[in-house]
């Protein structure tokens, strides 16, 4: 951990009324967040699954979680938040309400490689996929009932699947996301490439974490 960054934020403890070990944890979390990695969940039906994916994102250092709710007008982000408070408040979210084509077109224009979790002849095993070849990787997962839409599959840049050894054909969406993020993170950590945010981004993110912590006390 960078002592200079730690000391810089330690001086703000009185302002934000947090203890030293919590401060240390925030700086450490910000420093271990991964740049260029996002999860996208299409057609969210059950907020609890989105919350479970949020927990995995936080655990593997993924700051960004995008989603398309099945019913944007009725989707209650606060209800999702209440199911996974310890993880949900620390992430940054993007909700797309204009459909999967508009969402993926926007993300592609930003330079994201869209990788769909979908079993098909073109898909490769997560253990045979080099995830480090993409500087900006967006992992696309479907909903709990129907999986990915035909349009999402059409617009994806590549496909991966998780090999299964039993009789069932698929994992729960949140489990599939967690397994995929584990392998992506494992490969990134073993790579010579640098996947941490730059110092300025770490500083900004830590300040944001402090504000999120302070908001719980108001």
Q: pLDDT for 17-33, tens place per residue?
A: 556 777 788 889 999 99
pLDDT at 81: 53
Please compute the mean of the pLDDT values over residues 122-134 and round it to a whole number: 95
The domain made up of 35-195 has a fold known as: Alpha/beta knot (3.40.1280)
pLDDT at 144: 73
Please compute the mean of the pLDDT values over residues 123-140 and round it to a whole number: 97
Cα angle for residues 11, 16, 21 (degrees, 5° grid) = 65
Strands (DSSP E) contained in the chain are 34-44, 62-69, 92-95, 113-117, 124-125, 137-141, 158-161
pLDDT at 4: 73
- Report the share of the chain in percent with pLDDT over 90: 57
Place 109 in a pLDDT band, splitting at 50, 70 and 90. Answer: very high
- Report the share of the chain in percent with pLDDT over 70: 83
CA distance 210 to 122: 44
Greater pLDDT, 146 or 127: 127
Of 27-41, 60-74, 135-149, the range with the lowest mean pLDDT is 60-74
Of 27-36, 136-145, 179-188, 208-217, the range with the lowest mean pLDDT is 208-217
pLDDT at 11: 65
CA distances in angstroms from 211 to 63, 75, 84, 118, 171, listed in the order given: 16, 25, 19, 38, 36
CA distance 13 to 211: 11
pLDDT at 15: 53
Under a CB-based contact definition with an 8 Å cutoff, are residues 13 and 23 in contact? yes
pLDDT at 84: 47
């Amino acid at each position: 951990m960078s002592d200079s960054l730690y000391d810089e934020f330690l001086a703000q403890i009185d302002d934000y009324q947090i203890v030293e070990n919590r401060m240390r944890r925030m700086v450490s979390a910000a420093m271990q967040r991964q740049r260029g990695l996002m999860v996208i969940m299409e057609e969210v039906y059950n907020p609890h699954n989105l919350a479970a994916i949020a927990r995995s994102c936080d655990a593997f250092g993924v700051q960004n979680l995008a989603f398309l709710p099945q019913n944007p007008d009725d989707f209650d982000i606060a209800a999702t938040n209440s199911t996974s408070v310890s993880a949900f408040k620390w992430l940054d979210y993007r909700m797309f309400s204009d459909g999967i084509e508009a969402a993926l077109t926007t993300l592609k224009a930003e330079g994201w490689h869209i990788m769909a979790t979908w079993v098909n002849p073109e898909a490769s095993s997560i253990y045979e996929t080099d995830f480090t070849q993409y500087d900006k990787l967006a992992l696309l997962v479907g909903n709990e009932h129907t999986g990915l839409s035909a349009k999402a599959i059409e617009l994806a840049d590549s496909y991966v699947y998780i090999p299964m050894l039993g009789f069932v054909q698929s994992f729960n969406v949140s489990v599939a996301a967690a397994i995929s993020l584990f392998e992506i993170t494992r490969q990134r950590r073993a790579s010579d490439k640098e996947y941490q945010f730059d110092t300025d981004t770490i500083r900004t993110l830590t300040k944001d974490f402090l504000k999120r912590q302070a908001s719980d006390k108001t």
